[in-house]
A and B are shown apart, each in its own frame.
Chain A
Amino acid sequence: MAGSSLQQQIASMRQSLFDEGLLNEQFIELEKLEDASDPNFVKNVINVFLTDSLKNVTGIEESLLHLKADEPLDITELGKFLHRLKSGCLGIGAKKVPIEVEKMLQCYEAGDMEGMKTILPTMKQEYNILENKLEAYFELLPHIEPGQSSDPPSKGSTSSGE
């Protein structure tokens, strides 16, 4: 019964990722790519995302807020961080974070540094929420015992959330 309860908890956590508008159908496309030859595909992709996106978020913040005072602002580097973050978010199906990154990119293209600084706190907040939720979800997944299905009962159902 404990296994069933854990499965339900995982299913509920997964559904909340869609219901709260954090992820879109692209995440389901990733799940479809997982098979016997690569059973940890989604977890591996998310791990790469969390590592890479943290670097990009940090890079954006350090560039914008000029935290490395002894180094001049590298506008090209800032653009690279923004594009990489957006790309990674699109890859895993993140919904809210790329919206904020796109707003920052539009300011970036317009040379509007102050605009980017205004959006930065919201982007970071959305990223932190996504990061925490994904970490909590994938922390639970390995605890499914052999023989138990890792497929939540409502796998494939999403909130339209659009």
Chain B
Amino acid sequence: MFGKGASSSKSMEIIGSEKKFSVLIVDDDPIIRKIHSALLSKFTKEIQEVKNGKEAVDLCRSGASFDIIFMDKEMPIMNGLEATKELRAMGVNSTIVGVTSCDLSSERNDFIAAGQNQCYEKPLTIEKIKSLLSELNKNN
């Protein structure tokens, strides 16, 4: 399930029972950005959003780093697969989670081949995020 790039460049700090981690939401859909931001705010306050893969690449190139990047697939300018390849080529080893509105069974191989660690169908839910965090904590 978790291939290359599984370990985050920033270790997840656990302070008491509160886990601190940073996320980047990459999606051209403002509705999805709003929903996923609200969902993830139940788990962390360190959330940033960008509208396409190029903005994500530029942000990471400027020095920003994230524990988890939620990457939409279909986006203008630079799609999620292209952005993932670019980020991995840059040496970004954040956990990258693909998010797609397409059928996951036909998309999964593309996601993993591009360098993503995991993928989900839209929209994310509390249960999917809990499952993801549980996996990450196990691996860390």
Residues in A with CB closer than 8 Å to B29 are 52, 84, 87-88, 91
Total contacting residues, chain B, CB less than 8 A: 19
Residues in A with CB closer than 8 Å to B34 are 44-45, 48
| Bound-complex Cα distance A83 to B27 (A) | 12
B90 within 8 A of A: no
In the bound complex, do residue A90 and residue B123 qualify as a contact, i.e. CB atoms below 8 Å apart? yes
Residues in A with CB closer than 8 Å to B42 are 33
B31 within 8 A of A: yes
Partner of A84 from the list B28, B39, B125, B126 (CB cut-off 8 Å) is: B28
In the bound complex, do residue A87 and residue B38 qualify as a contact, i.e. CB atoms below 8 Å apart? no
A6 within 8 A of B: no
| Bound-complex Cα distance A33 to B39 (A) | 7
Chain A min CB distance to B17 (Å): 20
In the bound complex, do residue B31 and residue A26 qualify as a contact, i.e. CB atoms below 8 Å apart? no
Q: From residue 79 to 102 of chain A, which have CB atoms closer than 8 A to chain B?
A: 80, 83-84, 86-88, 90-92
Q: From residue 51 to 105 of chain B, which have CB atoms closer than 8 A to chain A?
A: 72, 74, 76, 101
Describe A's contact surface by its main secondary structure.
Answer: helix
In the bound complex, do residue B28 and residue A91 qualify as a contact, i.e. CB atoms below 8 Å apart? no
Q: From residue 29 to 49 of chain A, which have CB atoms closer than 8 A to chain B?
A: 29-30, 32-33, 38, 41, 44-45, 48-49
| Bound-complex Cα distance A87 to B30 (A) | 10
Q: From residue 60 to 111 of chain A, which have CB atoms closer than 8 A to chain B?
A: 80, 83-84, 86-88, 90-92
Interface, chain B (partner A; CB < 8 A): 27-32, 34-35, 38-39, 42, 72, 74, 76, 101, 122-123, 125-126
| 25 intermolecular pairs with C-beta atoms under 8 Å apart | A26-B123, A33-B38, A33-B39, A38-B38, A45-B31, A48-B30, A48-B34, A49-B31, A52-B29, A52-B30, A52-B31, A80-B74, A80-B76, A84-B29, A86-B101, A87-B31, A87-B32, A87-B122, A88-B29, A88-B31, A90-B101, A90-B123, A91-B29, A91-B35, A92-B31
Interface, chain A (partner B; CB < 8 A): 26, 29-30, 32-33, 38, 41, 44-45, 48-49, 52, 80, 83-84, 86-88, 90-92
